[in-house]
Amino acid sequence: MTESDDRIRQIQSFDKPIRDARLLERLVKWGRRGRLLLKLLKIDPKVFDDASKQLPGLIKGMEELASIPDRFNDAFLARGWIMYESFNPEVALKALDRADTGDIEGGEQILVDHFSEEEIRFNLLRLKSISTFQPRSTLAEKALIDYAAGRYYASVMVVLSLTDGFANDVGRRVGFFAKDVDLWAWDSIAGHDRGLKSLAKVFGAPRGKTTAEVITIPFRHGIVHGRDLGYDNKAVAAKAWAALFATGDWASRITRGERDAPPAGPPPTLKELLQARERLDQETSLMASWKPRQIAIGSDVPATGLPADYGEGTPERAVMELLAFWKSGNYGEMVTYLSQRERRKKTKGRLAGEIREIYQEYSVADFRLESVTDHAPALAIVSTVCTVSSEDGQRREIKAGFRVIHEATDGNPVVAGAPGGDWRILNVVSADRPFP
Whole-prediction pTM: 0.69
Span of 92-96, 268-272, 404-408 with lowest mean pLDDT: 268-272
Q: Summarize pLDDT for 90-130 with one digit per residue, the tens.
A: 899 999 999 999 999 999 999 999 999 988 987 887 788 78
Which of these, 123, 87, 91, 97, lies nearest to 110 by C-alpha position? 91
Span of 15-19, 48-52, 81-85, 147-151 with lowest mean pLDDT: 48-52
Q: Summarize pLDDT for 47-75 with one digit per residue, the tens.
A: 555 556 666 777 887 888 899 999 999 99
Output the average pLDDT for the chain.
86
Break the chain into its structural domains and give their ranges: 8-255, 292-425
Per-residue pLDDT at 36 exceeds 70: no
Element (H, E) at 160: helix 152-170
CATH topology of domain 292-425: Nuclear Transport Factor 2; Chain: A, (3.10.450)
Q: What angle do CA 145, 147, 151 make, to 5 degrees?
A: 100
Could you tell me if 147 and 120 are in contact, meaning their C-beta atoms sit under 8 angstroms apart? yes
* Separation of CA 159 from chain center: 21
Q: Could you give the CA distance from residue 244 to residue 200 in angstroms, rounded to a whole number?
A: 11
